[in-house]
Structure 1
Amino acid sequence: MTEHDNGGLPKRVVVTGGSSGIGFAVAKYFLESGTSVGIIGRDPARLEAAAEELGRSAHGRIEAACADVRDEQRIGMVIDELAGSMGGIDTLVAAAGTEGEMGAACEDVTAASFRDVLDINVVGTFLAVRHALPHLKRADAGNVVIVGSDSGFVAVPGMLAYNASKGALVQLTRALAVELFDVHGIRVNSVCPSIVDTPMARRGLGVDSFTDAAYPVQEAADIAWSVGYLSSHRSRAINGVNLLSDFGYTGRSSFPA
């Protein structure tokens, strides 16, 4: 059990996809706030480098474990290991994700690629939540924050699998929130950003920089702040929310006037 202080932030956080992009920024945010953080990543070299970098500036404790979120046995094992070393888990941040075949038309998207995106973005999120649940149930105020996307609400050509997966996360967030809160007091929310300057976004959009982008671009640290708020005890009434972080673009009318 833990008491909520330090701005209401949780004491022990596990982040999937914590070795890069938004997941890395989330881990850094919590560590700088004095939280103990366990990061999970599937690339051993990148994970080791991330843990080393995070450890240099941390006020909290950093742990790292290698696992692919698609591997149920492995993800369950490392979550249990991290919970054991940290003394429990108060918050799970599901940030692991992939973009799939960006720019491909429907008839050019392969079934294997489509399944891979769903397996990582949707099934991988479910597996992480499922295996973190026994530990979250023992926390004073366990909660889950899922990293979604505005692509769960709007669509553009060439992002078929990614759009489908992020749409699924919107409803998964709601379904988990309804199921877990009344019985266990576990809150589940998601942050759904538009373009964030991450290695995955640059790779997917085929750019080296967003400096001259014709649209507003967020930093990963912006999303980390939102994740921090949703995981804080100060947001204790916020549950089942898919928080759009998109400069208001989804609220704009498409009427040509």
Structure 2
Amino acid sequence: MADLGLSGRRVLVTGGTSGIGHAVADAFAEEGAHVGIIGRSPARLHTALEHLRGKHPDAVIVGGSCDISSEQAVTGTTDELVSQLGGLDHLVSSAGISGSLGATVDQVAADEFVEVQRVNVLGPFLALKAALRYLREGKDATYTLIGSDSGFVAVPGMLAYNASKGAVVQLTRALSTELYTEGIRVNSVCPSIVDTPMAREGLGVESLQDLPYPVSKPADIAWLVVSLASRRSAAVNGVSLLADFGFHARSSFPA
């Protein structure tokens, strides 16, 4: 197995209680990192911590619950977890919501549109703002956001989500530029459909096994995240890495 150089590193993952975020926390722990997770639900946090600690009994794994779109809550939770980790080298922002899918622009309530931006765009901004002073003191520090292919392509009925993930792409570029001189790399990983509870709920299905297109596993996306955090990826900065099986390269123009 390739040595990614992450043993002993301190990592904080928002949205770490389920789906991609939980897989990311698991992957970092597998590499020997000390891991903190943040989730909104105390019950899901308890379950996630039990699973991670059971699978990695020798690892340092801590967690806290808060609303990722509340600056005061995010700052307090981050300070607490970083104190337990003894510092911070890597931050991953995976918390997100899809909003209701299938509604046309005239059917999307303004409050719902704002809520999706609040979690998916404001959340990653606040996560970094709270963690930045610690990352500045970290080793080979990185910030990786979980975006989506929906930041590059669009389908009807996903207006709020498309807008939020498009913002994540530009947020990645802007942060990588701003933090370049401080030695903090910023990238995002942008998958298409991933087999997560949120995806199954959004598609209204119990299983993604028989869909007519490929579906990633959370662990597949987690591998990309830990790879970007590795010092071996030092030249990769400001990149929004599409993980969509190449579908973005295929023209849908009817000619």
Report if aligned partners of 1:83, 1:89 keep a CA contact under 8 Å in 2.
yes
In 2, Cα distance between equivalents of 1:117 and 1:7: 34
In 2, Cα distance between equivalents of 1:89 and 1:68: 20
Aligned to 2:208: 210
Deviation of the 1:255 alpha carbon: 3.7
SS of aligned partner of 2:208: coil
Deviation of the 1:106 alpha carbon: 1.0
Aligned to 2:113: 114
Aligned to 1:157: 156
Report if aligned partners of 2:92, 2:144 keep a CA contact under 8 Å in 1.
yes
Q: Deviations over 1:128-163 (max 9, x none)?
A: 011100000001211100000000000001100000
RMSD over aligned Cα, in angstroms? 1.2
Deviation of the 1:33 alpha carbon: 1.5
Aligned to 2:14: 16
Structure 1: where are the runs of 5+ without partners? none
Deviation of the 1:201 alpha carbon: 0.3
In 2, Cα distance between equivalents of 1:134 and 1:6: 28
Deviation of the 1:6 alpha carbon: 4.6
Report if aligned partners of 1:17, 1:95 keep a CA contact under 8 Å in 2.
yes
Paired residue type of 1:119: R
Structure 1 stretches (4+) deviating beyond 3 angstroms?
none
Report if aligned partners of 2:6, 2:32 keep a CA contact under 8 Å in 1.
no
Aligned to 1:54: 52
Paired residue type of 1:112: D
In 2, Cα distance between equivalents of 1:19 and 1:172: 24
Deviation of the 1:250 alpha carbon: 0.2
In 2, Cα distance between equivalents of 1:165 and 1:75: 20
In 2, Cα distance between equivalents of 1:12 and 1:108: 44
In 1, Cα distance between equivalents of 2:249 and 2:135: 34
In 2, Cα distance between equivalents of 1:6 and 1:47: 29
1:60-139 alignment, distance < 5 Å: 60-139=59-138
2:242 to 241, 244, 248: 244
In 2, Cα distance between equivalents of 1:79 and 1:6: 28
SS of aligned partner of 1:238: coil
2:184 to 183, 186, 204: 186
In 1, Cα distance between equivalents of 2:95 and 2:148: 12
In 1, Cα distance between equivalents of 2:37 and 2:84: 12
Report if aligned partners of 2:147, 2:188 keep a CA contact under 8 Å in 1.
yes
Q: Deviations over 1:204-226 (max 9, x none)?
A: 11111011100000000000000
Deviation of the 1:61 alpha carbon: 1.2
SS of aligned partner of 1:225: helix
Aligned to 2:4: 7
1:134-149 alignment, distance < 5 Å: 134-149=133-148
Report if aligned partners of 2:4, 2:227 keep a CA contact under 8 Å in 1.
no
Matched pairs, number = 252
Change in Cα spacing, 1:6 to 1:77, as seen in structure 2 (3 Å) is: farther
Deviation of the 1:240 alpha carbon: 0.1
Report if aligned partners of 1:151, 1:167 keep a CA contact under 8 Å in 2.
yes
Q: Deviations over 1:53-103 (max 9, x none)?
A: 111011421101011111110100111111111110100000000000111
SS of aligned partner of 1:146: strand
Report if aligned partners of 1:33, 1:60 keep a CA contact under 8 Å in 2.
no
Moved more, 51-60 or 111-120: 51-60
Report if aligned partners of 2:5, 2:230 keep a CA contact under 8 Å in 1.
yes
Deviation of the 1:235 alpha carbon: 0.2
Structure 2: where are the runs of 5+ without partners? none
